[in-house]
Amino acid sequence: MRRFIAIGAIAGLGVWVFAQSSGADMLASFAKTLNGAKSVSSTYVVQRVGGDSVTYKVDLAKPDKVRIDTPAQLIVADGKNIITLDKGDNSYFKKPETTADMKALFANDDLNLFGAFFDPAFYDGKVLSSKPAGQKMRKGVAYNVVTATMDKYGKKTISFYLDPKDGVAKVGEFVLNDAGKTDTVLVMTKDYTLDGGQASGLFAFTAPEGS
């Protein structure tokens, strides 16, 4: 009986500690951890509820290198230029790499979870309020969830699923309620590596034949 009470007390303490952490603190910790990494690589699925899914492969490295590979596009930033390949018509466009353009790459929901890698203040000013939303299970992992309100009308929210092992968001749920309609997009990582090895030449763009 005494052992049961002790275990219950420890579990209760864990819940209490989680409850004491504000949503802002949890998001700030996530952003700090991601920004502190030298590299990140992830394969993930973007699923619009009721629609199609798309698989992304993202590799990022400090100070300013990016590779975003999707079925429709390949975007490579090599430190000097940003090259965007349209796979549909086999054409590409190159422009000088700027800080503003680098930030713009992560403005959409499908890349939002990676924005803090280059910018520790990525969520500052974008998130109007945030709060812990408890723990939710996904594929055997109990994620700590933070729900952020993105506009003053409460139409747009993002739920960040933070991995308890490293505090990094591995799943994002983006919900837009507008004009009586709800649009939900799930970003679900299949693999996620911080400070792992990356292949030589990964951020070098090679124009495909005929482009």
- State pTM to two decimals: 0.87
Q: Quick check: 173 and 159 in contact, CB under 8 A?
A: yes
What pLDDT score does 210 carry? 82
Two structure tokens written together for 185: 């997009």
Give the model confidence (pLDDT) of 66-79 as tens digits: 999 999 999 999 99
Ranges in the chain, pLDDT < 70:
1-20
What pLDDT score does 115 carry? 96
What pLDDT score does 3 carry? 42
Provide the β-strand partners of residue 182: 177
What pLDDT score does 17 carry? 43
Locus of tokens 């308890």: 164
Domain ranges of the chain: 21-194
DSSP code string of 70-98:
-SSEEEEEESSEEEEEETTTTEEEEEE--
Locus of tokens 């700027």: 98
What pLDDT score does 16 carry? 38
Gap between the Cα atoms of 114 and 149, Å rounded: 18
Gap between the Cα atoms of 194 and 169, Å rounded: 12
Gap between the Cα atoms of 59 and 78, Å rounded: 12
Gap between the Cα atoms of 30 and 78, Å rounded: 26
Chain mean position to CA 94: 25
CATH topology of domain 21-194: outer membrane lipoprotein receptor (LolB), chain A (2.50.20)
Give the model confidence (pLDDT) of 140-181 as tens digits: 999 999 999 999 999 999 999 999 999 999 999 999 999 889
Closest CA to 40 of 18, 22, 15, 67: 67
What pLDDT score does 75 carry? 98
Chain mean position to CA 27: 12
What pLDDT score does 12 carry? 41
